[in-house]
Structure 1
Amino acid sequence: MKNVILNALVLLTMAVATVSCDKEEVIQSEDLPVASNTFLSTHFANIKVSHVKKEKEGLAGREYTVYLTDGTEIVFDKNGNWTEVDGNNNTAIPYTFIPEPIVTYVNGNYEGQQITSIEKDGKEFDVELTNGFDLVFDANGVFKRMD
C-alpha cells in the first residue's frame, strides 16, 4: 500500500512539474498580438525592439516579454495587453499609457520623482518611483497605500 501511495505521489509531482514548466521561445515583434504592436508604436515609437520572448506558462496561457534597446522591458498578456513596464536602471518610463489619476497623484505628492515601473493586475497598479518608493493604486487609479 505504501508503494502505491508513493508511486502516485511521484507521478503527481512529475505531472505538476511538467505542466508548470515555462516554455520559452524567441519570436519576431511582428508575431506579437496586434494590441502589443499598437502599444509599442504609440508609446515607445522612438525606441527599437531588441528581442521578444514568448512564454507558455502552464495553465495560465502565454505571455510576451519585449526587450527594448534602451533596456526597458514590457510584458504583455496573451491578448496583447500590457501587464508590466519596467524602465532600465531606475529610468523613467513614458506616462502616456498610465492612468491619469496615478500621474496626477505622483506629480502632486512626489515632486521631482518619476515613475520607473508599473505593473497591473485586475485589481490594482503597483508603481515604483525613482526614489525607490513603491505605491499601490486601485483599478481606478486611486491611491491605496505605500508598500
Structure 2
Amino acid sequence: MTEHSPEHSSAPTSDDFAFGGLHHVQLAIPPGAEELCRQFWGGVLGMAELEKPPVLAARGGCWFRGGGLEVHLGVEEDFAPARKAHPGILVRSLPMLAARLEAGGHEVTWDDNFPGMHRIYAFDKLGNRLEFLEPKESTPNP
C-alpha cells in the first residue's frame, strides 16, 4: 500500500460520486474566430452547431455536437493555442477521418505509441492540438 491509497486517507474516491463521462470539452479561441471554428468543426468534421443560451452567446464563441461529443469554443482575450494540452477524442473509421482532415488542409500525424490504439494528431484552424483515437481491434492499421 502506498501513502496515497484510500486506506490512508478519508478523501473520497471516484467510486463515491461515480463519474459518468464528459459533458463537453472547452477549447479557447481568439475574439472573432467563430467563422474559422464553423469551417473546421462544422465543415471539416461535420459536427452540428448548437445554439448557445443567450447569456452565454453574448460572450462570443460557439458550440458543436457530433456523436456523443460536445465541443465548446470560448473566447479568450489573450488567446494562445493549446500546443500540448488536448482532448483525446474516440472515433470510428480513423483512416476516413484522417483523409477528411487532410482534404480540409489539416496535416495529420500518425502515432501508434499508445498501446491498443491507433491515433492521429491534428490542429484546428487556430492551432489547438487535437488527438483522435480508435481501438486497434476495430480497424486495420493504415
Higher helix share: 1
Normalising by the smaller structure, the TM-score range is 0.3 to 0.5
Greater relative contact order structure (CA < 8 Å, 6+ sep): 2
TM-score after normalising by structure 2: 0.34
Larger Rg: 1
TM-score after normalising by structure 1: 0.33
